[in-house]
Amino acid sequence: MPFKILEADDQIGGRVQTDVVDGFLLDRGFQVLLSAYPECRRMLDYEALKLRRFYLGALIWFKGKFHRITDPWRQPFSALKTVFSPIGTLNEKIRISRLRRKTTSGTLDSLFEHPETSTLLAIKEMGFSDGMINRFFKPFFDGIFLDRSLETSSRMLEFTFRMFSTGDTVIPEQGMGQIPKQLASHIPSDAIQTQTAVRTVKPHIVELSCGEVLRANAVVVATEGHRSTKLIDGFPEVNGRSATCLYFATDKSPVSEPVLIINGENQGVINNLCVPSAVSPTYSAGNSALISVTVLGNPDQDNKVLEELVREHLSEWFGLDVQYWQHLRTYRIQHALPQVHPLALTPPQRPIKLETGLYVCGDHRDTPSVHGAMVSGRRIAEVVVKDLR
């Protein structure tokens, strides 16, 4: 079936792109692939992507030092030893074990039938202590959902917990941008037309920003949710969550392991940090280390002031050396993830066929993730093929 992809940007990839800056690979915002994502397992060639693994635990900063949490997903009984002992340790371990059992048993479809509330309410109802919530759940899942208040649907918590428990946290050796590149390599390159922004769509009709009008048996809108609202008459609002990512280079890496560092104190501008070059050395130019710092939201400060605030915070963690780290780039992603508050995932998938000749897909139609975006892409392909037969 002949088709054409119209892409406004000068390259494909959307929110999953990697820039090369001074020889460093900079993903546009810190993001990872969870190797257990079923749709990614189905559609991607993991071996060709040369996936590099993160350590399964994390380093959590609180009370003036880093505390190691070892693999809370698979070994709940040893994971919390350092961080939460001695108070409440056994109870927290039992609760983590219960959460793991709840999220990993049954099919993925059955997980999306569990009652839906907010993530914060769900973990409170499970009885986790304030310490466990504030030092682990909040900073960890704030960083994943880009949601400081953890209003995100509990179904996302359960889905993500299941993915962490049953697979690895990885990045491709050459950057996250290799994922869309691999997908695009399966289709003829002349089917993709970059630098072609669309102004409006109607059933069977696409109007480009340059004024040209195209006709097709089926038109699929595959933009970010808020852009679909602009393109399609009457399409509902899709609110988004923002993230800001600052990259630094330094000769002396603050950590040598491929570990995620999270801020377990309810203060300071940084939510999480990692050293991508410790996960995949290809991310770095020469022997320097590449540091990725995530700040939630889109702060009001300009980039220079934000950089100073971040350095100040970093110096508490790693000392005054951070003043010499070279700032490479700051990315502000206004619509990084669609917001999914409770009941947004009831049912877990939103309609993709709007009317005959007009369809919509993307992560805002499914779970906000690379997996969700790809599931919605497959769903749309199946429906369109069926309709046009």
At 88, list the tokens: 């409440």
Give 66's contacts (C-beta < 8 A, 6+ positions apart): 59, 60, 261, 317
Indicate the angle between helix axes 89-104 and 154-166, nearest 10 degrees. Answer: 90
Pairing of strands 358-360, 353-355: antiparallel
Nearer to ligand FAD by C-beta: 249 or 336?
Answer: 336
Q: CB-wise, 33 or 80, nearer to ligand FAD? A: 33
What pairs with residue 68 in β-bridges? Answer: 59
Residue closer to ligand FAD (CB basis): 6 or 184 = 6
- Measured from the CB atom, the residue of 254 and 368 that comes closer to ligand FAD is 368
Closer residue to ligand FAD (CB): 198 or 274: 198
Tell me whether residue 92 or residue 280 sits nearer to ligand FAD (CB atom). Answer: 280
Q: What phi-psi label fits residue 272: left (phi over 0), alpha (psi between -120 and 50 degrees) or beta?
A: beta
Residue 263: beta bridge partners? Answer: 61
The distance from CA 165 to its chain's CA centroid, rounded to whole angstroms, is 17
Query: Cβ of residue 182: shortest distance to ligand FAD, in angstroms?
Result: 14
**SS3 annotation, 27-72:** ECCCCCEECCCHHHHHHCCHHHHCEEECCCCEEEEECCEEEEECCC
Nearest Cα neighbor of 339 from 158, 176, 180, 156 is 156
Residue 89: CB minimum distance to ligand FAD, A: 29
Percent helix, strand, coil in the chain, to 5, is: 35, 25, 40
Q: Which residue has the tokens 């508050």?
A: 341
Q: Which residues of the chain form contacts with ligand FAD (CB under 6 A)?
A: 6-9, 14-16, 29, 31-32, 197-198, 222-224, 227, 231, 243, 333, 336-337, 362-363, 368-371, 373
Closest residue to ligand FAD, based on beta-carbon distance: 14
Residue 44: CB minimum distance to ligand FAD, A = 12
- Give 97 or 174: the residue with its C-beta nearer to ligand FAD: 174
Cβ-based nearer residue to ligand FAD, 126 or 184: 184
Q: How does DSSP classify residue 288?
A: P
Q: Maximum distance among all alpha carbons in the chain?
A: 68
